[in-house]
Amino acid sequence: MAANAGTGSPCGACKFLRRKCTADCIFAPYFCSEQGPDRFAAIHKVFGASNVSKLLHHVAAAYRCEAVDTIAYEAQARIKDPVYGCVAHIFALQQQV
């Protein structure tokens, strides 16, 4: 259920995509209207909104929050390092150990 649908304010993802946020918006629970557009921009750039939507529909509702956090982390890492993404960070941590 979209938290922002009742107020008429679109979620961060819909705001970024410039579309109307519906009551059944898959992105609304995970991208608030304030910080959501910036967070979603990286995800959209790397994975695309359609792919993320399909992925979230295949993940159980109980695990979607963690999935969104993971996708956002990987998207930020891919923007910083397009070849290795978050694996570069894992390698760096292994070197420290």
Helix axes 64-80, 49-58, angle to 10 degrees: 150
- What DSSP line would sit under 64-81, residue for residue? HHHHHHHHHHHHHHHHH-
Q: How confident is the model at residue 86 (pLDDT cuts 50, 70, 90)?
A: confident
pLDDT of 59 higher than 60: yes
- Return the percentage of the chain with pLDDT > 70, whole number: 91
pTM above 0.85, yes or no: no
pLDDT at 1: 45
